Chain A
Amino acid sequence: NAGVTQTPKFQVLKTGQSMTLQCAQDMNHNSMYWYRQDPGMGLRLIYYSASEGTTDKGEVPNGYNVSRLNKREFSLRLESAAPSQTSVYFCASSESRAGVNSYEQYFGPGTRLTVT
């Protein structure tokens, strides 16, 4: 099993450009997540998808959109990149069942994005 994979690993964008970060998991997990990691701030949730066909905003959704393409794939789109979106982006997935919250989240290796 590859676990959670992300592409690309690195990306440099100019302000105003758009791009999509791709994420896929092969663990048959129901739930998937996008986080950003900034120095001194830990990880903050951007969007999540509790199950195929649903998406919800997290803590910092402004400037981003997501698509849960199927059970395996969850993409994050920046429509018009801004320097404030320079960050490391992590995708994660987890099993989930109603009323059970102890399932760990499995993380991908991250995408380092720089917006100039």
Chain B
Amino acid sequence: GDSVTQMEGPVTLSEEAFLTINCTYTATGYPSLFWYVQYPGEGLQLLLKATKADDKGSNKGFEATYRKETTSFHLEKGSVQVSDSAVYFCALLMDSSYKLIFGSGTRLLVRP
């Protein structure tokens, strides 16, 4: 079935370091792809999305490009801040489906 695989965390970085969180997917069709972020004690918020191959989603300095050839949607940020510490979830949504399929989440800890 359709699934999402994320790199295991936690990922610990110093402030201003470069961030990559890997995400790959398995799907029978052409899904839309999402990154959600969960700050401590809160619900999930949409960070960015891409709906077709080669689309780049971006928001708050974060970027991810939908790569159909490698079935990937890696999250990147050039310079992380302490306030970026959170859990990041990659997710996919198939055409004609209402079911978001989530990866297991990657915890990011940014130290001053």
> With A and B bound together, what is the CA distance between A104 and B51 in angstroms?
11
> With A and B bound together, what is the CA distance between A102 and B45 in angstroms?
15
Which residues on the B side are within 8 Å of A92 (C-beta)?
44
Q: Which A residues lie at the B interface, using CB under 8 A?
A: 4, 31, 33, 40-45, 48, 50, 56, 58-59, 90, 92, 94, 96, 99, 101-102, 104-110
Which residues on the B side are within 8 Å of A41 (C-beta)?
104
Evaluate contact between B34 and A104: CB separation under 8 angstroms.
Answer: yes
Which residues on the B side are within 8 Å of A44 (C-beta)?
102
B89 to chain A, nearest CB (A): 6
Which residues on the B side are within 8 Å of A33 (C-beta)?
98, 100
> With A and B bound together, what is the CA distance between A94 and B102 in angstroms?
16
Evaluate contact between B95 and A101: CB separation under 8 angstroms.
Answer: yes
> With A and B bound together, what is the CA distance between A99 and B95 in angstroms?
7
Evaluate contact between A45 and B100: CB separation under 8 angstroms.
Answer: yes
Evaluate contact between A42 and B104: CB separation under 8 angstroms.
Answer: yes
The 0/1 profile, CB within 8 Å of A marked 1, for residues 76-101 of chain B is 00000000000001000111111110
Which residues on the B side are within 8 Å of A94 (C-beta)?
98
How many cross-chain pairs have Cβ atoms below 8 Å apart between A and B?
Answer: 59
Evaluate contact between B43 and A110: CB separation under 8 angstroms.
Answer: yes
Kindly state the interface size class of chain B when it binds its partner: 20 to 34
| A48 in contact with B99 given A42-B89, A90-B44 (CB within 8 Å) | yes
> With A and B bound together, what is the CA distance between A21 and B59 in angstroms?
33
Which residues on the A side are within 8 Å of B32 (C-beta)?
101-102
A45 to chain B, nearest CB (A): 5
> With A and B bound together, what is the CA distance between A107 and B47 in angstroms?
12
> With A and B bound together, what is the CA distance between A102 and B50 in angstroms?
8
> With A and B bound together, what is the CA distance between A62 and B39 in angstroms?
29
> With A and B bound together, what is the CA distance between A48 and B34 in angstroms?
19
Evaluate contact between A42 and B43: CB separation under 8 angstroms.
Answer: no
> With A and B bound together, what is the CA distance between A31 and B99 in angstroms?
11
> With A and B bound together, what is the CA distance between A41 and B46 in angstroms?
19
Evaluate contact between A31 and B98: CB separation under 8 angstroms.
Answer: yes
A83 to chain B, nearest CB (A): 22
